[in-house]
């Protein structure tokens, strides 16, 4: 029984055998296949369901024009644009349930655009020779992307690459059968945080918001979590956000690879989504523990969190820079913004007398934020710590006021 259909995408002029093998595996497991060719120069051994000419046309051009430009980068951008538009249209029409894209660097570049055009809950698998590579910037990754390394698959089929390709085929078909897509029966609140040892507000806020008729998704702000948060914000998925852990902004500012891209803390504002913001862990910069300390942080105290992650405390000047950057990002918001500023600290370790307590640094951040807070942002100062009950109560007060005014609704 062909219970789910998988869209298989790739350059059939150079990877016909591999793409055909993937299709055979999907069909052998009872799935159906829809094929899309994104080649430019050559042709597949037999016609695909979606031809390269249709893809180029959807990209606002033609195969002839792509070839005539004599620029492979521009040609593949035409195909990427067309493939993304075609995939979005086909999915809206109910033509497929999951997608698998195969490629090297060129195909992966295209695959990221295609997968980003599809909504959360559509299984998205990229089989790539550069999976998990630093070549891929975080802002290119949609919230629920899956990547599988295409081992030994640069040219032609072999037993090594078949192991990767068959796993990918089974994975995307299994995901399409098993996925429970977001229900959208309750408005969604997006919240950022870290674990309960350092930030605790979600323990109070999540059940309180659920009692008010909202669903709450808490994103772990360690780079990819923030990326997923921003991806959904850019789709307008949230009724409101409680962005209380903006550390990824500081990570990016200080040159750490553990960041969520240049657009962190901008997409909710661009969509006019109401934002309640706070500085959870603003004073710490995380970086990859097995790499050298970023240049801006050399000479500062380092704490090894585990073998993957280390943290550095910001200096007072760096905290001032962080405050200005947060203000600059929030200044472009098209919806209401309230910044809750807990004057006693932004993580469990920086409480007065705590191991990371730095009154001078905290004072520098507070003063800079007061000075540069943009006119569109309401600054609410709290004589409390971010983990105190008073902080969560203040957040709920803002939320309830917005709900009463119709700014957000259940």
Q: Output the pTM of the full model.
A: 0.84
pLDDT of residue 138: 79
CB contact at 8 A, 352 and 388: no
All structural domains of the chain, each given as residue ranges with its CATH number in brackets, are 5-178 (3.40.50.12020), 188-405 (3.40.50.12030)
pLDDT of residue 1: 46
At which residue do the structure tokens 């004589």 appear?
Answer: 383
Give the residues of the chain that fall short of pLDDT 70: 1-2
Count of Cβ atoms closer than 10 Å to residue 138 Cβ: 22
Angstrom CA distances, 185 to 121, 205, 214, 215, 399, stand at 15, 20, 9, 9, 20
Q: Is the dihedral of CA 98, 104, 107, 110 positive or negative?
A: positive
E-state strands within 254-396 = 275-277, 284-288, 302-304, 309-313, 337-342, 377-382
Q: Which helix (H) or strand (E) holds 188?
A: strand 188-193
Q: Which residues contact 287 (CB under 8 A, 6 or more apart)?
A: 251, 256, 257, 258, 293, 294, 297, 309, 310, 311, 312
Q: Which helix (H) or strand (E) holds 69?
A: none
Question: Could you tell me the two tokens for 161?
Answer: 């690459």
- Write out pLDDT tens, residues 104-137: 999 999 999 999 999 888 999 999 999 988 888 8
pLDDT of residue 132: 82
Q: According to DSSP H, which parts of 59-200 are helical? A: 63-68, 72-92, 105-116, 159-178
At which residue do the structure tokens 């710490």 appear?
Answer: 284
CA atoms of 99 and 36, how far apart (whole Å): 10
């Amino acid at each position: 029984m062909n219970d789910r259909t998988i869209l298989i995408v790739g350059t059939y002029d150079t990877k016909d055998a591999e793409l055909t093998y993937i299709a055979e595996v999907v069909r052998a497991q009872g799935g159906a296949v829809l094929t899309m060719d994104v080649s430019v120069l050559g042709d597949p051994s037999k016609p695909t369901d979606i031809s390269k000419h249709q893809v180029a046309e959807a990209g606002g051009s033609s195969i002839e024009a792509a070839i005539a430009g004599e620029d492979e980068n521009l040609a593949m951008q035409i195909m990427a644009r067309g493939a993304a538009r075609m995939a979005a249209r086909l999915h809206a029409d109910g033509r497929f349930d999951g997608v698998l894209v195969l490629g090297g660097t060129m195909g992966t570049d295209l695959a990221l655009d295609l997968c980003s055009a599809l909504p959360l809950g559509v299984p998205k698998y990229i089989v790539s020779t550069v999976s998990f590579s630093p070549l891929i910037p975080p802002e290119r990754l949609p919230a629920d992307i899956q990547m599988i390394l295409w081992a030994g698959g640069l040219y032609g089929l072999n037993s090594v690459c078949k192991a990767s390709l068959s796993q990918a085929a089974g994975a995307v078909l299994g995901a399409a059968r098993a996925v429970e897509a977001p229900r959208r029966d309750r408005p969604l609140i997006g919240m950022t945080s870290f674990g309960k040892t350092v930030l605790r507000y979600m323990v109070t806020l999540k059940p309180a918001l659920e009692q008010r008729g909202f669903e709450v998704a808490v994103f772990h702000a360690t780079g990819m979590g923030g990326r997923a948060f921003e991806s959904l914000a850019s789709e307008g998925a949230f009724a409101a956000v409680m962005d209380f852990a903006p550390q990824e902004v500081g990570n990016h500012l200080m040159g750490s690879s553990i960041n969520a891209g240049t657009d962190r803390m901008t997409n909710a504002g661009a969509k006019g989504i109401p934002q309640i913001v706070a500085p959870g862990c603003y004073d710490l910069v995380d970086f990859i523990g097995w790499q050298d300390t970023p240049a801006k942080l050399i000479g500062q105290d380092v704490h090894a969190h585990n073998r993957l992650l280390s943290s550095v405390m910001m200096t007072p000047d760096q905290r001032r820079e962080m405050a200005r950057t947060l203000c600059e990002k929030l200044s472009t918001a098209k919806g209401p913004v309230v910044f809750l500023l807990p004057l006693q600290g932004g993580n469990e370790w920086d409480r007065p007398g705590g191991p990371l307590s730095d009154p001078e640094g905290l004072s520098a951040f507070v003063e800079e934020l007061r000075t540069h807070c943009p006119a569109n942002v309401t600054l609410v100062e709290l004589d409390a710590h971010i983990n105190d009950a008073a902080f969560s109560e203040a957040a709920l007060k803002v939320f309830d006021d917005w709900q009463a005014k119709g700014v957000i609704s259940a």
